[in-house]
Chains A and B, each alone.
Chain A
Amino acid sequence: MVLAADLRLDANWVDYLLVALYFGFVIGIGIIARRSVSSSLDFFLSGRSLPAWVTGLAFISANLGAVEIMGMSANGAQFGIPTVHYFWVGAVPAMLFLGVVMMPFYYGSKVRSVPEFMRKRFGTGAHLVNALSFALAQLLIAGINLFLLAKIVNLLLGWNLYVSLLVAAAIVLSYITLGGLSAAIYNEVLQFFVIVAALVPLTIVGLHRVGGYGGLKDKITAAGDGAAQLNSWPGTNLTGIADPFWSVVGIIFGLGFVLSFGYWTTNFVEVQRAMASSSMSAAQRSPIIGSFPKMFVPFMVIVPGMIAAVLVSEVAKAKASGDPKFDYNNSLLYLINDLLPNGMLGVAIAGLLASFMAGMAANISAFNTVFSYDLWETYVVKGRSDDYYLRIGRVATVAATVIAIGTALFARNYQNIMTYLQTLFGFFNAPLFATFILGMFWKKMTPTAGWTGLVSGTAAAVLVGILSKDALGSLSTGVLPLKSQGAAFAAAGAAFIVDIVVSVAVTMVTRPKPVSELRGLVWSETPRSDFHDANEGTLAWWQNPNKLAAVAGVMVIVLNIIFW
């Protein structure tokens, strides 16, 4: 932990004006969006009316929170180029898969949430497991985002931590209760541009200082360990797996397949953005459109981290001495502090605050949908008017914010936020993808197999976590020689395999759902026309999800080759 005085930014009234302007716009969007909320569908899914570029940007923006910006720049500072795997292997392929293969099921079956798909396909057991674990995870992550937000305000501007916490929570609360998902999504789009406006100049100024990318490479090589820091493969420093072959396997199978597909294709925080689109092809296009900016996020997040590692004396010193206590999460803040003059400093602060707030807003808007539709309406109070559930949604938002404040105080105890979150995703998400993909393409899979697969998959992940060296902190026994990201990859992989094996075994001995109930939920039982817009033939090539996805796929392969 650094001393607050190290990072206190010299913000003047111009910087405060820029930050205040941003918040004025945020609240303004909430107020204007309120005018369009007349039913629960408006509140929870924006009336399914948003254009694809809006939902596409919101799709990645919802993920561009504290973890991404601080965590990935920290990884950039510590590990260098291999961090790109979180984007080019660990995000883009799964986003394209979501758009091309899975979105037709979600959008076409008219479900209002990912757990609702689970309920239609597998019934109550799997639905409860999914809805409860998701709701719980959202509260935790919202708390972490809120804590980081408050910590930044505290570090940069010197506000009291508790005051920062309450003010940030109040702002998020006000715009979501007012405008629901539309307000959250519009703010995410605005946030995206503010973050770009903050990080791109920082990167350019940083590169200018180190003498361009060539200068950066020279300086990293001079600091030692250049080969591992400047080549994306095999990424042994990132995975913590010493053997290059297993490191590559870990990245491709653990991160690229299990963790990333589990996260991007079943996480309702992301999928909800696409569900708010105006048509099937727009819903499919959302994650695909989002994949284009996603490919280039590393250049404004990882590169500044790498620059900080050679330019900022504190970071460079900690890296050279291998100080295990140093908190790399502050690398970006040091760089901002060292390089940006007043004016651009204000934009940078606005961008950081925007990112952290939108992360939390995304968690809360996904939580209130799942809570209202999947838990309250399904199990607690059934069959009331739409107005009633809209009111419940607003109450849930307030309650979630209050709980997030509590979780934020709890999250203070966790130092390595990145690993902690990865662990969480591994436990909840990895078995989900296995169950979804089996359920969508195998009509015989039974409801019992649905929930037993999920439970045993999660249990397998927890077991690997306990056997590893450090995935679960003091709970880990160190029986397996796995640590840090490598342990998370292994836990996710185990969850995936166990889920598949258990699902197949249980299906053999239990009764499947009647085929007549599976239209829209299982590939072989759904007429192809359900998966396409009537007007799809009239769309231009760049509006066709498959062609657009192919372009994105080629681009990400080219990027991978360039930074080999």
Chain B
Amino acid sequence: MAENTSETGHKAGLFDIRFVIGALMGLYGVILLITGFFTSQSELDRADGFNVNIVGGIAMIVTSLLFGLWARLRPIVVPEHIEQEDEPA
């Protein structure tokens, strides 16, 4: 995030939630795409021949790549020193 970039610290790396979302979407996309090629005609007929597994799989793979790209281009920087707030009693 732009507000944090001025602070010194290390990158959050794989714990960045964007990598987590990207990874799950990517796995889903690949599995759906493969399943899509084996989806039987009778199943496809229920949706008038629209192969939602292939289309959905591709869309999820694209989403996954976008998340990965976003996380690579704008990494989260975790401050080394976290300000101690004095909590009200």
Contacts and interface: CB of A to CB of B under 8 A. Distances in A.
Interface of A: 14, 17-18, 21-22, 25, 28-29, 32, 41, 47-49, 51-52, 54, 110-112, 186, 189-190, 193-194, 197, 201, 204-205, 208-209, 278-279, 281-282, 338-344, 347, 383, 535, 539-540, 543
Contacts of A282: 1, 3
A190 B19 CA distance: 11
B28 A18 contact: yes
Contacts of B89: 383
Given A22-B24, A343-B35, A51 B88 contact: no
Contacts of A204: 50, 52
Given A190-B21, A190-B24, A341 B43 contact: yes
B46 interface: yes
A344 B56 CA distance: 8
Contacts of A18: 28, 31
B24 A25 contact: yes
A110 B47 contact: no
A506 to B, nearest CB: 27
B17 A110 contact: no
B31 A17 contact: yes
B69 to A, nearest CB: 15
Given A197-B56, A344-B56, A347-B32, A208 B47 contact: yes
B3 A193 contact: no
Interface in B9-27: 15, 17, 20-21, 23-25, 27
Given A32-B15, A186-B17, A535-B3, A205 B50 contact: yes
Given A41-B87, A339-B46, A344-B56, 15 more contacts: A14-B35, A18-B28, A21-B27, A21-B28, A29-B20, A32-B15, A49-B82, A186-B17, A186-B20, A193-B63, A194-B24, A201-B52, A204-B52, A208-B47, A341-B44
Contacts of B39: 341-343
B86 to A, nearest CB: 9
A208 B55 CA distance: 13
B64 to A, nearest CB: 10
Given A204-B52, A543-B2, A197 B17 contact: no
Residue among B4, B36, B47 with max Cβ neighbours from chain A (10 Å): B47
B76 to A, nearest CB: 7
9 contacts: A18-B28, A193-B21, A193-B24, A197-B60, A278-B4, A341-B43, A341-B44, A344-B32, A347-B56
B53 A110 contact: no
A341 B25 contact: no
A193 B23 CA distance: 12
A341 B21 contact: no
Interface in B34-70: 35-36, 39-40, 43-44, 46-48, 50, 52-53, 55-57, 60, 63
B80 interface: no
A197 B28 CA distance: 9
Interface residues of B, number: 38
- What 5 A-B pairs come out closest when comparing CB atoms? A343-B35, A341-B43, A343-B53, A51-B1, A205-B47
B34 to A, nearest CB: 9
A181 to B, nearest CB: 14
A468 B88 CA distance: 45
Contacts of A52: 1
Given A282-B3, A341-B43, A343-B31, A197 B20 contact: no
Contacts of A201: 52, 55-56
Contacts of A112: 87
Residue among B48, B56, B87 with max Cβ neighbours from chain A (10 Å): B56
A177 to B, nearest CB: 19
A338 B40 CA distance: 15
A110 B85 CA distance: 9
Nearest to A193: B21
A341 B27 contact: no
Given A208-B48, A342-B43, A347 B3 contact: no
Nearest to B44: A341
Contacts of A347: 28, 32, 56
B20 A25 contact: yes
Contacts of B24: 21-22, 25, 190, 193-194
A28 B20 CA distance: 10
A477 B48 CA distance: 51
A21 B29 CA distance: 12
Contacts of A25: 20, 23-24
Nearest to B14: A32
A337 to B, nearest CB: 10
Residue among A22, A186, A197, A204 with max Cβ neighbours from chain B (10 Å): A197
A235 B78 CA distance: 49
Contacts of A190: 17, 20-21, 24
B5 to A, nearest CB: 12
A204 B27 CA distance: 22
Contacts of B20: 25, 28-29, 186, 190
A347 B39 CA distance: 15
A347 B30 CA distance: 13
A205 B52 contact: yes
Contacts of B31: 14, 17-18, 343
A266 to B, nearest CB: 20
Contacts of B57: 343
